[in-house]
Amino acid sequence: MLFEDKRRSFNFINTPAKITNINAIEVLDSRGNPTIEVEIIAEKDISFSFRKKKYKAWARVPSGASTGDFEAVELRDNDTNRFNGKGVLKAIKNIEEEISLLLLGKDPTKQRVIDQLMIRLDGTDNKSKLGANAILAVSMATARLGAMIKNQRLFQYINTLAVNTELEISRPFFNVINGGVHAGNKLAFQEFMISPRNGNFADKYRAASEIYHSLKKILENKFGRQATLLGDEGGFAPNDLVKPEEVFDLLLEAVKKAGYEGLVDFAIDVAASEFFVDEKYNLGIKDTEDNFKDIDEMIEIYLNLVEKYPLISIEDPFDQKDFEAFSLLRKKLENKNIQVVGDDLTVTNPSRIRTAIRKNSCDTLLLKLNQIGTVTEAIEALFTARSAGWNIMVSHRSGETIDDFIADFAVGVGAEQIKSGAPARGERTSKYNRLLAIEKKTNISL
């Protein structure tokens, strides 16, 4: 009888899940460089029995090539005998020893607590001790684990972490021409994107695919098959194009031939910090001759593009330290319904976002999880941007994996926009395919 009483008492206690194991391995990203995959295991007592239920979740972190000076730091080994110094064994050691020791026995459904514990353990402003790549891998896997334990889809669980913001299938921006540090061609601007505005997400995805293949045929016919070689993010990287106008003219042609004329907007990621030299912008940095422009001349280039093409979004038009130049462009674009996006300028960091708000530098935040290092801090950055009425564009990185976490994250936080590269290559389409599945299985729409 005493045993029966103890069992009943035990059965009705709702014991939390506890992390029992954290493992990490070195894997390769889409550029063939090492990154981190983490697996976290948790156990929870099953009601009305003495057995335990086991949960297992994973995450892989991306890596950027065009990285801002103010981003959280990914930890690399700097051992030139392995992966040209880009190995991540030090970060993995930090996960399996320091972070694991800290988190074993903790409840994985307490995302904020888990993230704050890791932040305090690191103790630096930029996560350079443990590595933002190490911390983010654990943070993302913890979120997946929490969703499993709560018996929710990941986007639903993230929605609870974001205090039940409105769910939304984000409008996609597809990178179809690569330049800058993402390609070996002559284009200084880093990304040329298309964003169909027809129908639901599935319709937009189909349109992007058809335009992408239309563009491929045009490039091959005009410049030969070498023009259809791909850049880091799956967009084409033709070597015959130098000016952005040449790219946009080809995009207009591709859109028309695919049957979507008048239904597609354009966007650019300038990544201007990458060609900011001696206080000027060298548009010829990848060409045989220099072509320096000052701030006023760059503004004139952007205004001309806006007047001539259906351009609705300009990302990182100036150097990452120049809040004032961003603000000048915003004033020039008043009443034109063109968004100015902060990436290297704001690096998903609430402090820099507040500065951009104060100086009226942007109206859209490019949100990259690995720029800040935890799911909790990314959500805090989003709230900071939202306080000023900004839009949110969730973003991949140029060095990606098949992990589709950001698709669920974008829907869960109600981000208006998302970019994940071209409508091609598995590490890019994994995110778009996940959005397609979410739209099909739910009543959420654009």
Q: How far apart are CA 207 and CA 216, in angstroms?
A: 14
Q: How far apart are CA 100 and CA 21, in angstroms?
A: 7
Reduced to 3 states (helix: H, G, I; strand: E, B; else coil), residue 344 is coil
118, 138 contact by CB (below 8 A): yes
Q: Which residue has the tokens 């038009």?
A: 317
Annotated active-site residue in 233, 274, 377, 427: 233
Beta pairing class for 311-315 and 264-269: parallel
Is 368 marked active-site? yes
Q: How far apart are CA 356 and CA 371, in angstroms?
A: 16
Q: How far apart are CA 68 and CA 371, in angstroms?
A: 8
Annotated active-site residue in 86, 127, 204, 368: 368
Tell me phi and psi for residue 418, to 5 degrees: -150, 145
437 to each of 11, 88, 100, 250, 443, how far by Cα in Å?
38, 33, 33, 31, 11
As a dihedral over the C-alpha atoms of residue 416, residue 374, residue 183, residue 68, rounded to 10 degrees, the angle is: 100
Q: What are 420's two structure tokens?
A: 């994940």
Start-to-end CA distance of the chain, whole Å, equals 59
Long-range contacts of range 279-282, CB-CB < 8 Å, 24 or more positions apart? 281/318, 282/188
Q: How far apart are CA 305 and CA 245, in angstroms?
A: 7
Reduced to 3 states (helix: H, G, I; strand: E, B; else coil), residue 176 is strand
Q: How far is CA 172 from the centre of its chain?
A: 12
Is 233 marked active-site? yes
The number of C-alpha atoms within 13 Å of 129 and in the hemisphere containing its C-beta is 10
Q: Which residue has the tokens 């354009």?
A: 266
Q: How far apart are CA 309 and CA 305, in angstroms?
A: 6
Q: How far apart are CA 127 and CA 14, in angstroms?
A: 35
| Active site residues per annotation | 233, 368
